[in-house]
Homo-oligomer: A and B are copies of this chain.
Amino acid sequence: MAGKPHILVTNDDGVHSPGLRLLYEALKPLGEVIVLAPETPKSASGLGITLHKPLRLTRLRLWGGVEVYVTNGTPSDIVYMALEELTDHIDLVASGVNLGDNTSIQVILSSGTIGAAAQAALLGIPAAAYSIAIEEPEQLEADRETWEQAKKLIQKTARYILENGMPPPIDIISINMPSKMTPNTPVKLAPAARARYTQKIARGRDPRGKPLYWLYGEQIQPQPGTDVYTVHVEKAVAITPLRLDLNPQLKPGTRAIQWLQGLLQATR
């Protein structure tokens, strides 16, 4: 690779998340790091891009003088904004570190952290999404051992991707870290489970007595071998390769093929 690699650092928790700073600190030694993040949290924004309103780009100084950029767009908008305004090419998009793991297809499909990585992948840019099973910013900031170990893991994996590229059919590497990281925390390859939560709704009332509803998730018992199990039961790091493809593999002669032929017939 000629010159220092260009690394775009972004997230979906917003520019003030310690996870973004952790990612920046980890990747700074590896190349030219551009930080562009949403000004406010955009969790569960998924792969949605912003078509209905104008986007703005603002420069800030954070973390003792580091130049970072913020936008009112979603994580998925960011790679396009960065390529338009901040750099002529990007060798790696690193998204995170998300507060809260992005395990299971259910969570991945609605994750802004993965959304940013997915837009990069659609442009052919290697993309890594980092998440940690810690919900509270203060907890991540206070636990120095976890912080340092996470930093090492991010550095090692990002360096490997920069040196080796990302082979088809892999589009994104999603790395989910457990809530405690030590030098002995195992690292495993783990496919994404299908679902992690049963969605629930809590009913409430506003101050005027009108009904309102809050969505929340209730955890499902995870299956061994999945990303959810690896992070939450084994307390290990899960490395999950992702492919942006929702076309099912349909084997000839199966019921699904017959069903589709029947559906086609039914339209005649």
Contact = CB atoms under 8 A, between A and B. Distances in A.
Interface of A: 41, 43-52, 54-57, 73, 76-77, 80-81, 84-85, 105-106, 108-110, 112, 115, 118-119, 122, 153, 156-157, 159-161, 164, 166-171, 173, 187-189, 191-192, 194-195, 199-201, 203-204, 206, 210-216, 237, 239-250, 254-256, 259-260, 262-264, 266-268
A244 B109 contact: yes
B160 A215 contact: no
Contacts of A85: 213
Given A194-B122, A247-B192, A266 B160 contact: yes
B248 A260 contact: no
A212 B44 contact: no
B260 A239 contact: yes
A210 B45 CA distance: 26
Contacts of A41: 52
5 contacts: A80-B199, A164-B259, A166-B259, A239-B267, A243-B246
Given A47-B47, A105-B247, 5 more contacts: A41-B52, A48-B48, A55-B212, A109-B246, A189-B264
A81 B244 contact: no
A259 B170 CA distance: 10
Given A153-B267, A250-B241, A46 B43 contact: no
A82 B232 CA distance: 31
A248 B239 contact: no
Report how many copies the assembly holds.
2
Contacts of A49: 44, 110, 199, 215
Chain A, interface SS category: mixed
B260 A189 contact: yes
Contact of A170 (B216, B256, B262): B256
A55 B214 contact: yes
Nearest to A205: B54
B164 A262 contact: yes
A122 to B, nearest CB: 5
Contacts of A56: 210-213
Closest 9 CB pairs of A and B: A46-B46, A243-B248, A54-B212, A46-B48, A160-B266, A47-B109, A55-B213, A84-B201, A47-B110
Contacts of A259: 164, 166-167, 170
Given A46-B110, A242-B248, A267 B55 contact: no
